[in-house]
Every structure is written in C-alpha cells, then in structure tokens.
Amino acid sequence: MAISGSSDPASVSPGRASSRLGRLARLGSACARRPWLVIGIWLAVLVLAVIARQLAGGVFSDNVELPQTQSTTGAALLRAHEPSAAGSSGLVVFHVATGSLGADRAQVEQAVSALHGLPDVLSASNPFATNPAALSADGRTTYSTVQFDARPKTLGPTT
C-alpha cells in the first residue's frame, strides 16, 4: 500500500503551509507580525470600555435580598432569637512587632471592651477568653470577631 502524501506539517512546502493553517493560527501570525498595531487596538478597546462604563453610569451594589429563601429565613430567626449572631461580621486584628500579646493582654481586652460600646456593634469576642486558636503560634497576632447589626459597608460617618 503506497502513501501518497505525508501528514507531517514540516514536509509541506511553504506555499501550501499557509493554506493549511487554521484561522486562529493565521490570526496569531498576523498579530505577531504587527505587535504595535495589536497593542494599539487593545488600548483603544480599553479606552472605549472605560468611556462606555462612564456613560452608562453603572453603580456597584452588594445589597442583595432574596425573599422566601432558606438563608433569609435563617437570618430572620437569628435576628429574632439570637441578635448577637445575626447581622454581618468582621475581624479586628491585634499584632505586636516584638514580644507577645500576653504582655499587652489588658490593652487588648480594653480595646475589645471599647468595641462593645461602638454604635451598630452587637458583640465582639475576646480573643483570649473565647477562642485560644485565635492567637498565633508565636503569640504576636490575634483577632476579635465583631458582629454588626448592619452591613459594614453602610457603617461609618454620615455625609
């Protein structure tokens, strides 16, 4: 049985090679031959995208409410029966550059107590009393979990 042609792309003559290339290979080849044109086109696309975003005036919002879902029902139950577990949470990190937090324990506990007095704070955990795993192995970093009655994004000074 005789084979009439080779399937090896290297054996194809240069004139026939371009006809065997796919569209993506031809596009890549054209981009490689004109890199500054390609960069210019991408920059123009970027500028047009920024202008379109400015004209459209879209605003980011993370205010998502999904009524009649299990998570919404669960959050409502938490607010009704265990308000300190409801709402949003955040972390306050305590760190000392040298030594350990054990020496500054009173200051950390004072700061956690001050957190309790802030508006919109439902609770703040004491990293030494409630969660020994919150203290790093070297004893220089710990955190307190703070529960808020509102989303942290909405907190802060009113303008």
Report the C-alpha gap between 157 and 140 in whole angstroms: 31
Cα–Cα distance for residue pair 70/84, rounded to 1 Å: 20
> From CA 5, how far away is CA 16, in angstroms rounded?
13
Instruction: Say what the pLDDT of residue 1 is.
Output: 46
3-class secondary structure per residue, 53-110: HHHHCCCCCCCCCCCCCHHHHHHHHHHHHCHHHCCEEEEEEEECCCCCHHHHHHHHHH
pLDDT score recorded for residue 73 = 86
Say which DSSP state 125 is in.
Answer: -
- Residues 75-129 have pLDDT tens digits of 788 778 776 666 778 889 999 888 888 888 889 889 999 998 888 888 888 888 7
Taking alpha carbons only, the member of 101, 107, 112 closest to residue 136 is: 101
Query: What confidence score (pLDDT) does residue 39 get?
Result: 96
142 beta partners: 94
Task: Output 4 or 135, whichever has higher pLDDT.
Answer: 135
- Which range among 75-79, 133-137, 149-153 shows the weakest confidence by mean pLDDT? 149-153
Strand order in the sheet with 121-124: 88-95, 141-148, 121-124
d(CA 94, CA 141): 6
Q: What is the pTM of this model?
A: 0.49
What is the model's pLDDT at position 28?
93
pLDDT (tens digit per residue) in 24-75: 999 999 999 999 999 999 999 999 999 988 888 777 666 677 888 888 888 7
pLDDT of residue 83: 67
Residue 83: how many CB atoms within 10 A of its CB? Answer: 13
Q: Nearest-5° angle of CA 69, CA 70, CA 72?
A: 65
